[in-house]
Amino acid sequence: MIKGVSDDMPRGSDVRLYRINKVTEPGGAVLTKKDVLAASDREALKRAEDSPDCPVCDVLRDGQPIGSIVDNEAPQSPRP
């Protein structure tokens, strides 16, 4: 059975597209990119934090940084 991305979301839920960039350091060179759908910034940061491929990652919404994951610790706020 093929399951659609929205099958896990309640009907009527709004999701946004987020980009998770695996980086050398927060704000550093991008090593890999992954797009994910999430209902909130918090959910996108949690998905990045839970990813085994994300020891250091920046999370972006609409091209703007919303936070960083550093060594899978708590999400950090982006630098001004």
List the pLDDT tens digit at each of the 80 positions of the chain: 343 344 455 555 689 999 999 999 888 899 999 999 999 999 999 999 999 888 999 999 999 999 999 975 444 555 55
Q: What is the pLDDT of residue 26?
A: 86
- In 3D space, the residue among 30, 20, 23 whose CA is nearest the CA of residue 66 turns out to be 20
Q: What is the pLDDT of residue 56?
A: 92
**CA distance linking residue 29 with residue 10, whole number of Å:** 36
Domain ranges of the chain: 14-70
Q: What is the pLDDT of residue 79?
A: 56
Provide the 8-state DSSP code for 76: B
